Amino acid sequence: MTAHSFRLDAIRAAVICCFAVLAACGGGESSTVLVPPPPPPPPMQAVTVQQVFPQLPGFTQPVALMQAPGDSTRWFAVEQRGIIHSFTNDPNVNSTSGFLNISVQVDSSFGESGLLGMAFHPSWPATAFVYVHYTVTGGPLGSRISRFQSTDGGLTVMAASEQIVLEMPQPFSNHNGGNLAFGPDGFLYAAFGDGGSGGDPQENGQNQNNLLGTIIRLDINSAAPYAIPPLNPNALNPICTMGFGVLPCPEIFAYGLRNPWKFSFDSATGDLWVGDVGQGAWEEVDRVELGMNYGWNDREGAHCFDPPAACRTAGLAEPITEYGRALGASITGGFVYRGTAIAGLVGQYVFADFVSGRIFSVPATSQPTVGPTELDDTGLQFAFSALAEDINGELYLVHYSGGTIYQLVAAP
């Protein structure tokens, strides 16, 4: 992920309560009725992080953590170098098992390349497929989404079973995106960055003729390697071979993103949330809707990135929230909290900053653009590469450089 230097600023939040005065006149007399302000929202419940599974050997640069659909007995940890481990969901677990090793074909030589995402087929293990998103070794850097199969009831996945779903060359070594997830509609979603360098020199974010700077949506059940969901905005166009086409790509679900490192679906509403890593000033959170343009590189967050005279705003979706360099420098998207252990956090979209180690939230019902609430300043810098959600909706955080796992818990 991109780590920017950041300055110390201050940010303040104000709560403004207003009341309306209603006047009624009649018979030569007047009366004034004061309508009291609505009660303030309950205070945000204080939270902190607590290390879990402390006896596990440390992971090497972990970038994702998840449980399989409907199975709370195991966890799966994805390492950037191309290895996926599984381990028992036991506080005292002290060992891991190999689940998939494709390190020989994964190029993790750049800071943002490697094995970056994994998703279980929604019908796992009856449909014994796992999908991964990685950058390929052996030539010019490129992104690949592949399917792998288990033949032992889901204990492991065979590296030799790879079926390539989609490939795309990368013009630069950074902003590879990499997240994968199945939506509540059963389609596979994947994120790609703008191609890298700085400032999007190729203007990929606003170019729908390639898949750079987008979240795509694929139907992997109707055809091989995939079909286009019929409601995708450009569904009638031919598929974009190697991620590029002469018409707007039918794979695109939404576009105008810089580096959508992590996205997730709200388990209660199905809403799609993404944390989009900023360039030099603003980190943003978007609630992603079909066909919408999220502005990069015309804008960074809700602010002009192009010179004001060339800064287009019409037709661009506003971020739900954003924050500047006083609070962090590289957003890690998270989840809407739907657990039961932290009652005051239910319905809040929770996310973190990789550089500063701060954890934030905004109500999932927020409309653009609101300020985030800082939940905790953990002091763990260059730490949180991913958040994870267990079967029960509780949230965890993956420490990239430490190789450890934390759980979000109510503060004592």
Sequence-ordered list of residues with C-beta below 8 angstroms from that of 309, at least 6 positions apart, any chain: none
CB 240 within 8 A of CB 226: no
Q: Please give the distance of CA 385 from its chain centroid, rounded to a whole number.
A: 10
Name the percent of the chain lying above pLDDT 70. Answer: 90
**pLDDT-based confidence at 34, cuts 50/70/90?**
low
Percent of the chain with pLDDT over 90: 86
CATH of domain 20-410: 2.120.10.30
Integer Cα distance of 297 and 290 in angstroms: 19
On whether the CB atoms of residues 112 and 176 are closer than 8 A, the answer is: yes
Query: Domain residues of the chain, as ranges?
Result: 20-410
Q: How many angstroms separate the CA atoms of 401 and 58, rounded?
A: 10
| Alpha carbon distance 180, 188 (integer Å) | 7
pTM (global) more than 0.85:
yes
pLDDT, residue 36, reads 63
pLDDT given for residue 33 in this prediction: 53
- pLDDT over 60 at 41, yes or no: no
Helices (H) and strands (E) in the chain, counts: 0, 28
Residue 26 banded pLDDT, cuts 50, 70, 90: very low
- pLDDT, residue 331, reads 98
Q: Mean pLDDT of all residues in the chain?
A: 91
Interval 303-355: pLDDT, tens: 999 888 788 889 999 999 999 999 999 999 999 999 999 999 999 999 999 99
Average pLDDT of the segment spanning 126-139 = 96
How distant is the alpha carbon of residue 233 from its chain centre? 21
